[in-house]
Amino acid sequence: MTTTIATGPEPTRPPEGQPGSGARDRHPLPTRSIFDRAILGRAAGEAFAKLDPRTLARNPVMFVVEVGAVLTTVLWVRDVLDAGSEPNTFAGLVTAWLWFTVLFANFAEAVAEGRGKAQAATLRRTRSETMARVRGADGTIEERPSTALVVGDECVVTAGEVIPGDGDVVEGIATVDESAITGESAPVIRESGGDRSAVTGGTRVLSDEIVVRITAEPGATFLDRMIALVEGSARQKTPNEIALSILLAGLTLIFLLAIVALQPFAIYSGDEQTLIVLVALLVCLIPTTIGGLLSAIGIAGMDRLVQRNVLAMSGRAVEAGGDCSTLLLDKTGTITFGNRRATGLHPAHGVDPARLREAALLSSLADETPEGRSIVELAGDDATRPGTTGADFVEFSASTRMSGIDLADRSIRKGASDAVARWLDQYEQRIPDEVVTTTSRISDDGGTPLVVVEDATVLGVVALTDVVKPGMRERFEELRALGIRTVMITGDNPRTAKAIAAEAGVDDFLAEATPEDKMALIREEQQGGNLVAMTGDGTNDAPALAQADVGVAMNTGTQAAKEAGNMVDLDSDPTKLIEIVQIGKQLLITRGALTTFSIANDVAKYFAIIPAMFIVAYPQLDELNVMGLDSPESAILSAVVFNALAIVALIPLALRGVHLQAATASEVLRRNLLIYGLGGLVTPFIGITLIDLVISTLGIV
């Protein structure tokens, strides 16, 4: 990464670990409970609006239920209008509960969408008409509405003004209040020439002045995309969801053909069935429970990410997170606190400590990384900064892994030991053995050694230390139990990387990583059949983010990183990747659990409806009436009522998700079969029996 030395007054940078440093308390986007009255009230109205066949046709299972409800309604109304017949209470109740089944399924989807729409409304209130001060090519300033900006416009924004659109800082440095977007109360620093240059329209500059080059057209800004994604209007079904929908549609078609073929046999047996009974049988046998909740499960998965301040650009990304088997995690800021600082200077044999201190200071003046600044702070305490007029500064870069300065009579460099060794090759020198020993000791202790050299003379070593975050080993153990392999990515030398990896408990590590190395590792994992997730924030991370199956871009990162990834973390917390994978797995497990329950509870309905339909023609079928249901009508009505109430009872589980436990895939399957498979078999027997008892006691039919 290429950095520049900022000129002019610089805004005060918060100390590490303090507000504004990245180790801050998070305030996520406002969320509401699923039992919020406003959401429930709005969802009730939308449940009726979703009865539109054009909308419901996207859900084949519930569309069949609606068609059945319409058919039974017509038949019931015909009987009611027939003056020569008595009102058919059984037909009326079956019709009513069929409509309730459709409405409850629509209600579940509407509640899932409701929380997102409430959050979208909050975001819309942050977007207001803003006047932009656009700088022309000749330096003149023209005021223009933010809605009239085009890509490439350069806007001057000073303290107290709102940034008019998405863009990159091309001049200056300032503190920016992003609370309107992220909910984060502490300001952040945005500056030109680095990976923290991206700014978002609607945020406010608190200090200094910056020039922002617009990178998004009005209506296509990050905030606009946030609103569309949060309220669900941009959500598309994922591949697994589409596959499951096809399966459910296939099962529905099979049962439809079976019911159609059943009537001729019933007529032959002298026990012709009414259309009301046939429709009730069809609705009870098709997988209505999962059909009614499938969309709500997917929407709720994205909503759980939003509650954690993560925006998924598609449902496919959330689902891929659950399927990921390899996580690439940056060491700095993710596994460790990220505030790696210079903690000691170790002079080489015979070198004056003051000379090492001065050289470390000079070689770090062009190093704008946190490590470089910490060396300046450490060495600047006692060293007198010499004049640097006419000096050529050598900025730190990821490719050279060195920084330094060229003065009139000497060249000073500071960097990784292998990079310094290559520097010494031009002088036909090498790093002294005692310095190699020092670097080895620092690396073995988990620190990072940086060797300081002046021309051909090695002056000593600067020790940088970092600390592994507490609880990381336990979290990695949980991921390992879920079958997920963790790989630590770091620019440190292999020895340092090995020490940190052992302390943190990751499965593997990639040391001295370059962007090309990350890409190669991702492709290697994918060729082995693994899905890969990673985080990144810089332009140099963009190719790897695009290649990864789940690429989480930091909100503080560059626009290129945000465009390349399929998720954006508004908190810019790299450890969020672990939560993203867990939420994705919870989504998949929830869908699998409710599918298991839905298919299993159909078996119990056979014992309720089939004997009831043909008990007149075949009295022997009474042996299958294991629930002891009162009459054929009450048995069929009880099954229809239970079918509708099952959707209602499972709405909270669909929205909150099944509790995720650290377990292998086989263990999850066994638990699903035991809890939701066996539960799906037993629950209908109990529920239908109790409903039949109420119906028979009250004499409803």
Residues 673/596, Cβ–Cβ less than 8 Å: yes
- Is 325 in a helix, a strand, or coil? coil
pLDDT at 452: 94
Asked whether residue 414 is marked as a ligand-binding residue, the answer is yes
What would the two tokens of residue 459 be? Answer: 């002056």
Residues 262/610, Cβ–Cβ less than 8 Å: no
Tens of pLDDT, residue by residue over 618-657, are: 788 778 777 888 888 888 899 999 999 999 999 889 888 8
pLDDT at 544: 85
Q: Which range among 114-128, 360-374, 408-422 shows the weakest confidence by mean pLDDT?
A: 114-128
Asked whether residue 159 is marked as a ligand-binding residue, the answer is no
What would the two tokens of residue 21 be? Answer: 């440093």
- Among 330, 492, 549, 692, the one annotated catalytic: 330
Cα 325 to Cα 479, 532, 647, distances in angstroms: 9, 6, 33
Write the DSSP string, 526-583.
HHTT--EEEEE-SGGGHHHHHHSSEEEEETTS-HHHHHHSSEEETT--TTHHHHHHHH
Asked whether residue 325 is marked as a ligand-binding residue, the answer is no
Q: Is 330 a catalytic residue?
A: yes
Q: In what order do the strands lie in the sheet with 457-465?
A: 341-347, 457-465, 448-454, 411-415, 402-406, 392-394
**Lookup result for tokens 């509401």:** 32
Tens of pLDDT, residue by residue over 320-366, are: 888 888 999 888 767 877 667 888 899 999 999 989 998 998 888 88
How far apart are alpha carbons 659 and 649 in whole angstroms? 17
Asked whether residue 50 is marked as a ligand-binding residue, the answer is no
Asked whether residue 397 is marked as a ligand-binding residue, the answer is yes
For 76, which DSSP code? H
Residue 642 one-letter amino acid = F
pLDDT grade, residue 62 (50/70/90)? very high
**Lookup result for tokens 């090492």:** 356
User: By C-alpha distance, which of 413, 443, 442, 447 is closest to 429?
Assistant: 413
**Phi (first) and psi of residue 428, to 5 degrees:** 55, 40
User: By C-alpha distance, which of 683, 701, 679 is closest to 692?
Assistant: 701
**β-strands 310-312, 567-569 pairing:** antiparallel
How far apart are alpha carbons 121 and 113 in whole angstroms? 12
Cα 149 to Cα 178, 202, 218, 219, distances in angstroms: 21, 14, 7, 11
pLDDT at 21: 36
pLDDT grade, residue 84 (50/70/90)? low
Tens of pLDDT, residue by residue over 3-22, are: 322 333 333 333 333 333 33
Q: Which residues pair with 464 in a beta bridge?
A: 342, 448
Asked whether residue 402 is marked as a ligand-binding residue, the answer is yes
Radius of gyration of the chain (CA): 33
Averaged over 527-534, what is the pLDDT? 89
Q: CA-based angle 670:671:677, to the nearest 5?
A: 85
Neighbours of 471 (CB within 10 A): 8
pLDDT at 294: 86
Tens of pLDDT, residue by residue over 456-515, are: 899 999 998 877 888 888 888 888 887 889 999 887 778 778 888 888 899 999 988 888
Residue 135 one-letter amino acid = R
How far apart are alpha carbons 262 and 160 in whole angstroms? 75
Q: CA-based angle 644:50:241, to the nearest 5?
A: 75
Distance of CA 639 to the CA centre of its chain: 39
Cα 21 to Cα 186, 220, 565, 578, distances in angstroms: 9, 30, 24, 21
| Residue 296, pLDDT above cutoff 60 | yes
pLDDT at 116: 62
Tell me what the pLDDT averaged over the chain comes to. 81
What would the two tokens of residue 431 be? Answer: 């790093």
| Residue 26, pLDDT above cutoff 60 | no
Averaged over 651-674, what is the pLDDT? 83
| Residue 290, pLDDT above cutoff 50 | yes
Asked whether residue 403 is marked as a ligand-binding residue, the answer is yes
pLDDT grade, residue 673 (50/70/90)? confident
How far apart are alpha carbons 477 and 468 in whole angstroms? 15
Strand ranges (E), 8-135: 131-135
| Residue 223, pLDDT above cutoff 80 | no
**Phi (first) and psi of residue 425, to 5 degrees:** -60, -30
Asked whether residue 613 is marked as a ligand-binding residue, the answer is no
Write the DSSP string, 497-527.
HHHHHHHHT-SEEE-S--HHHHHHHHHHHHH
Asked whether residue 371 is marked as a ligand-binding residue, the answer is yes
Asked whether residue 630 is marked as a ligand-binding residue, the answer is no
How far apart are alpha carbons 400 and 137 in whole angstroms? 36
